[in-house]
Amino acid sequence: MQKRGVRPNIVTYNVLIDGYGNFKEAKRLFEGIEKRGLRPYIITYNVLIDGYGKKRKLEESYRLFKEMENIGVSNTLINEYRKKENLEEAKWLFEKMEKKGVRYDIVTYTTLIDGYYTTTRKGR
C-alpha cells in the first residue's frame, strides 16, 4: 500500500488492528498510530479493549480506558466485565463514569441487565 504511494489513515489502522489474529502485532500497530501523525478514534480504543478482554487482560483494558474515558469505551469495558461475570467492577465503572457526567445509552443498560440476569440464573 505504502509502496504505491497510498498513506494509510486511521480507518485503515482500525481495520488492521481488528483483523489481526496476532494480538501483539495489533498492539504494535496501535502504538505506532500517533507516531504516524494520526489520532486513534473511539473505535480504535474499543477494538483494543475488546482484544485485551478476549485475552483476559482486563488490567490492560482499563489502562486503555483511562486514556480515553467516554461512553463508547466505557460500554466496551463494562461489557468485558459482564462477560467475565465481574458485575462488581461493571457497577463500579458505571457509577464512576456517571459521577463524571457520562450519560449512558440503551447499550449500557442492556449490557448490565443482561449481566445481572445471567448471573442470577446461574445462582451467583
Q: What is the CATH number of the domain that holds 65?
A: 1.25.40.10
- Domain with 49, as residue range(s), is 2-121
Sequence-separated (6 or more) residues with CB below 8 Å from residue 44: 10, 13, 14, 17, 30, 33
pLDDT given at position 111: 92
Confidence check: pLDDT of 74 > 70 = yes
What percent of the chain is predicted at pLDDT more than 70? 94
Residue tagged 483511562 (cell numbers):
66
Is the torsion defined by CA of 118, 18, 92, 58 positive or negative?
Answer: positive
Q: What are 74's three cell numbers?
A: 466505557
Work out the angle at residue 106's Cα, subtended by the Cα atoms of residues 55 and 87, and round it to the nearest 5 degrees.
Answer: 45
116 pLDDT tier (thresholds 50, 70, 90): very high
Tell me how far apart the alpha carbons of residues 30 and 68 are, in angstroms, rounded to a whole number: 14
Distances (CA, A) of 111 to 4, 104, 119: 44, 11, 12
Domains identified in the chain, total number: 1
For 4-42, the pLDDT digits (tens) are: 777 888 888 888 888 876 778 888 888 888 788 887 777
Distances (CA, A) of 37 to 11, 30, 40, 66, 102: 14, 12, 10, 21, 29
* Burial (CB count <10 Å: 0-12, 13-18, 19+), residue 5: exposed
pLDDT given at position 54: 82
Q: What is the pTM of this model?
A: 0.56
